Structure 1
Amino acid sequence: MNRPTKIAAALAVIALSYPAAAWFTGQKVQAVLDEQYAELQSHPTLKMTERSYERGVFSSTEKITFEMVMPTAAEDGTLQAGEPLRMHAINHIKHGPLPGLSTLAAATMDSRIVLDGTPDESLKLPLEIRTVFQFDGSGRSAVSSPALEFGMPDSSGNEVRFGLGELKADIAFSAGLRSYTTKGTADSFSMEDPSMRITLSGLVFDGDQRRLFDDEPWLYVGKQRATVASMDVSGKEDGQLDGMAFQLERMSYDIDAPAEGDYVNLKALMGTEVLRIGDTDYGPAHYDFSLTHLHGRTLVALWRKLMEISTDPAVLAAQEEDPTALLAPLAEPAMALLGYSPAFSIDRISFSSPHGKTDLSAQVRLDGLQPEDTANPMMLIAKLQAEAKLSMPQVLLQSFAGGEAEDEDEAAFAAAQFEAQLGALEAQGYLQRDGNIVKTQAAFRQGQFTVNGKPFNPLALGGQ
């Protein structure tokens, strides 16, 4: 057999076997999607209500409808069960091993999303989602969207306008969605209703997440980060928030949630270089906190219960007469989580002002708590360990004390009273003054409250 004949024979074998290979990869991709949707059904509020799958030899078409229960705020401030948000996805899938003759992969999938519930008609989101599935079940999705504006009614019948700038995102996922990475940008976001307008620009985000437990699809650990160039919030003239205005610039949001066995340790860092309220800039401002030794499976149980009650019509109706109705169902999973001795820490709250810098830190933990102790409030108090430190400009404290004064004489009287109170506390050792800065620290250990290391009884102090 000469060379041209061999080549022709090889091409014939490939041509004859390619339909079988495409059918096989089509089965493989359908199985991957089946697995993902089966796990989605365990979500407390997001459900797949319809799905059709038409599979051919070289391509398939999938149509899915999702529903997400959306609570709405009533005029009295209570939450009510609203109509579910319906999303329709249409997926056009090309089978490998050479889908569309453009790449080597198990399949490519192009998706289109449609939302129900707009005032006049369904909203076709101009999202372009291209997913490439590899032969091992992993893949990568590229998401892009041009600028978009639309309106939706709120619970009072007023229109809320939304604006989304150009969006780009890249998501890489492993087989079974056991881990994923994200990276993306969004030019802008805006929301406007009759009382206020919010605008945000220059969003950049990325993340690296993995499942803590293979059988739990809703608990991921890892890192997430986002930065925002600017954010403006302003109340509208003659609206409920008339006169309100603040701006933030160069914001950052970092979350690091590593796993330690079956436990999660979470640390969040939030900061902004500019925090302008009215004409005063309080930046740089920071809010850093930590949640450590969180038992993973108990944490998921608490999260699931929170999602369930936030959309339960019976619970939402009960809150009108009893505001604690939303919290009562959380008591059991919350107490179970406390039984694993988690710790909460405000690592830093800081902001600047024309008078100087303010710093606050605090830690709260329950030492040696046993699961059976959670049923006894006295045991919780006995094992509660807490401490806090505060450093603040005296002038800023004084402005709080005289903030309700109606005239200069009343403000002067309030300032004199406040100075006398500070002097008494300083004389007793409960605080120190370093120039313009007031410093103090408090602790609660073994049932005793101390300030600057001295036993402190607020009731006795008030009686002096």
Structure 2
Amino acid sequence: MSKKTVLGVLAAAIALAYAGSTWWAGNKVKSVYDNAFAELPEQTALVRVVERGYERGFLGAVSTVTLELGCPADAARPEASEDDDGEDAAPAPAKPLRLSFRDTIRHGPLAGGSLAAATIDSELRLDIKGQAEARKVFGDARPFSARTRVGFDGGYASEIALAPGQFVDEDRTRVSWQGAQLRVRVDGARTEAHYELALPGFEAADLRNGVNLKMGKLGARADLDIRHGWMLATGKSTGRLEALEFTATGRKADPDAAPARPFPAIVLQGLDAASDATIENGLYAGTATFKGTGSVGATRIDDFEMVSSMRRIDVGAYRKLAEIWTRSAAANGCIRGGKASQAALRALLDRVAPDLKTMASHGPEIGLDRLRLEIDGQHAEFSYSAAMAGVTEEDLQLPGSALMLKRGVLKADARLPVKWIEKIAGTASGDQAASPEMAALMIEQFEQQGYLKRAGDDVTSQVEFSGGQLKLIGKPVELPAK
């Protein structure tokens, strides 16, 4: 066989192999789209696929989809029954929003200049009216863009961007943002996910009442295990917000009206957030921490920290409960109108009751482990928790309310500096120089009544409900008769 013949056969083989790879990549990508849109209606009652198209070629494809966001029109307001007097009827929810997207897909193995099963460029499709409205908000910039690289194992990496913009509703509302970027990476087995979010700045204002919320640069990232689904993702997440400012001048729309008293400005700075979640022996546990500094009016907050947690959450029962809840039109506020809405919610609660009881049998607990505030070198602490404890098989036969009364445990603790009480008493009485003796007398009266205890330079209090008994600082309190 001649050299030319060999090279020809080799070139043909390479071309055939490439064509086969491209054909396989096209099938793989289409399968991903088909599965994703088939599963979407099962995930939430607030998103529906109303129109979809997929035009496939050899080297690429074009996917179009129109999504409807919000309550379904046919579930928004049921017909009133004969015994529904209409007095509790509520207005129908807002009209669903429709958004259309176009994906331009390039099949691999050399897709868009990179080695991948496919690359996908996504864009938001707008009609003539929508384009005019978008120009008012985004100018000449493209409002939304996304580029996704699909790996040969079915995993993907996406880069999504929202352009800077500003929305103004006459003299009532103004909302502006400096853009947003999101990077997401998910492996082919759908077990691991990573994301990074960047939001340079955001501001919202109620122009009529002089209320303004301003947010500085926000960044967040996470490495997650999603084998149990996004709602039960485990792993670590971190985030940082440079500043958050809330002001309310109390200005009214009527220029002749007397100005309202300004609300103290709230400024938070250097806000750090972190969360960590695990699943062991079928039980989910997670902790979240939020801390920073700031001020309220003229009062400087030297430091604050908030730690919350949940423990012993049964994974199987929680997943079922969450799926039922997110798919329910009633839970998402889509069924309105007096007794019909109440009946739908009762039916929903009856449906999730078995899963709630399954969760109760594992002794679940949620709470605020610590809220610590430090001002002028002194600090206050607050905490609370809600749990189920010692639930037996016999207990699970009880109605939900009876089970809560028998096995529910609620605890709350507080510690407050006496100096703060003196300042609060002075502010309430209009005498900023309220004497320590006045505060001491007030503390003594509450201590005699059993509401708090003096502990050096602080006062403390504790409330607990367990075993059907309410206690205040360890002493039983008689509950009102039924």
Give the TM-score normalised by structure 2.
0.78
1:170 to 183, 188, 192: 183
CA contact (8 A) 1:302 1:330 kept: no
Q: Which deviates more from structure 2 when the two are superposed, residues 196-205 or residues 4-13?
A: 4-13
- Give the SS at the match of 1:380: helix
1:224 and 1:24 map into 2 onto residues whose CA distance is 36
Please tell me whether residue 43 in structure 1 is matched to residue 43 in structure 2.
yes
1:260 and 1:32 map into 2 onto residues whose CA distance is 31
Deviation at 1:358, TM superposition (A): 0.4
Q: 1:67 to 1:411 in 2, by over 3 A?
A: farther
Deviation at 1:79, TM superposition (A): 8.7
Deviation at 1:423, TM superposition (A): 5.2
1:285 and 1:175 map into 2 onto residues whose CA distance is 41
Q: Structure 1 stretches of 5 or more lacking a match?
A: 72-77
1:75 alignment counterpart = none
Q: 1:16 to 1:433 in 2, by over 3 A?
A: closer
Residue by residue, what CA displacement relative to the aligned partner does 1:374-408 show, whole Å, maximum 9, x if unpaired? 51634432323343332211132344456543668
1:59 alignment counterpart = 60
1:408 and 1:172 map into 2 onto residues whose CA distance is 56
Residue by residue, what CA displacement relative to the aligned partner does 1:98-156 show, whole Å, maximum 9, x if unpaired? 113x11111000111257997963578533311111111112112234422234x6xxx
Q: Which deviates more from structure 2 when the two are superposed, residues 361-370 or residues 398-407?
A: 398-407
2:255 alignment counterpart = none
Deviation at 1:446, TM superposition (A): 3.3
2:147 alignment counterpart = 130
Deviation at 1:31, TM superposition (A): 0.5
Residue by residue, what CA displacement relative to the aligned partner does 1:275-332 show, whole Å, maximum 9, x if unpaired? 31112122411221111111223323443455433543434x449999x997995576
2:404 alignment counterpart = 380
Q: Which deviates more from structure 2 when the two are superposed, residues 117-126 or residues 294-303?
A: 117-126
2:164 to 121, 139, 147: 147
RMSD: 3.8
1:295 alignment counterpart = 314
CA contact (8 A) 1:173 1:180 kept: yes
- Give the SS at the match of 2:216: strand
Deviation at 1:341, TM superposition (A): 2.4
1:344 alignment counterpart = 366
- Give the SS at the match of 2:62: strand
1:298 and 1:267 map into 2 onto residues whose CA distance is 20
What does residue range 82-121 of structure 1 map to in structure 2 within 5 Å? 82-100=94-112, 102-114=113-125, 121=133
1:265 alignment counterpart = 285
CA contact (8 A) 2:422 2:434 kept: no
2:24 alignment counterpart = 24
How many percent of aligned residue pairs carry the same amino acid?
21
1:373 and 1:251 map into 2 onto residues whose CA distance is 46
2:148 and 2:63 map into 1 onto residues whose CA distance is 14
2:295 alignment counterpart = 276
Q: Structure 2 stretches of 5 or more lacking a match?
A: 73-89, 253-259
Q: 1:167 to 1:410 in 2, by over 3 A?
A: closer
Deviation at 1:89, TM superposition (A): 1.4
CA contact (8 A) 1:405 1:411 kept: no
2:198 alignment counterpart = 185
Deviation at 1:59, TM superposition (A): 0.9
Q: For this pair of structures, how many residues does the alignment match?
A: 440
Q: Which deviates more from structure 2 when the two are superposed, residues 114-123 or residues 295-304?
A: 114-123
2:91 and 2:295 map into 1 onto residues whose CA distance is 31
2:282 and 2:422 map into 1 onto residues whose CA distance is 48
CA contact (8 A) 1:230 1:248 kept: yes
Q: Which deviates more from structure 2 when the two are superposed, residues 23-32 or residues 234-243?
A: 234-243
Q: 1:146 to 1:314 in 2, by over 3 A?
A: closer
1:325 and 1:355 map into 2 onto residues whose CA distance is 53
Q: 1:118 to 1:245 in 2, by over 3 A?
A: farther
2:475 to 450, 455, 459: 455
1:161 and 1:209 map into 2 onto residues whose CA distance is 36
1:200 and 1:319 map into 2 onto residues whose CA distance is 42
Residue by residue, what CA displacement relative to the aligned partner does 1:409-460 show, whole Å, maximum 9, x if unpaired? 99999747513314536xx7951321x32234444443444444x4243799
Deviation at 1:52, TM superposition (A): 0.5
CA contact (8 A) 2:192 2:227 kept: no
2:116 and 2:291 map into 1 onto residues whose CA distance is 42
Deviation at 1:26, TM superposition (A): 0.8
1:227 alignment counterpart = 240
1:360 alignment counterpart = 382
CA contact (8 A) 1:386 1:443 kept: yes
Residue by residue, what CA displacement relative to the aligned partner does 1:312-361 show, whole Å, maximum 9, x if unpaired? 3434x449999x99799557636434354211232101112237200122
1:99 and 1:13 map into 2 onto residues whose CA distance is 20
- Greater RCO (Cα-Cα under 8 Å, separation 6 or more): 2
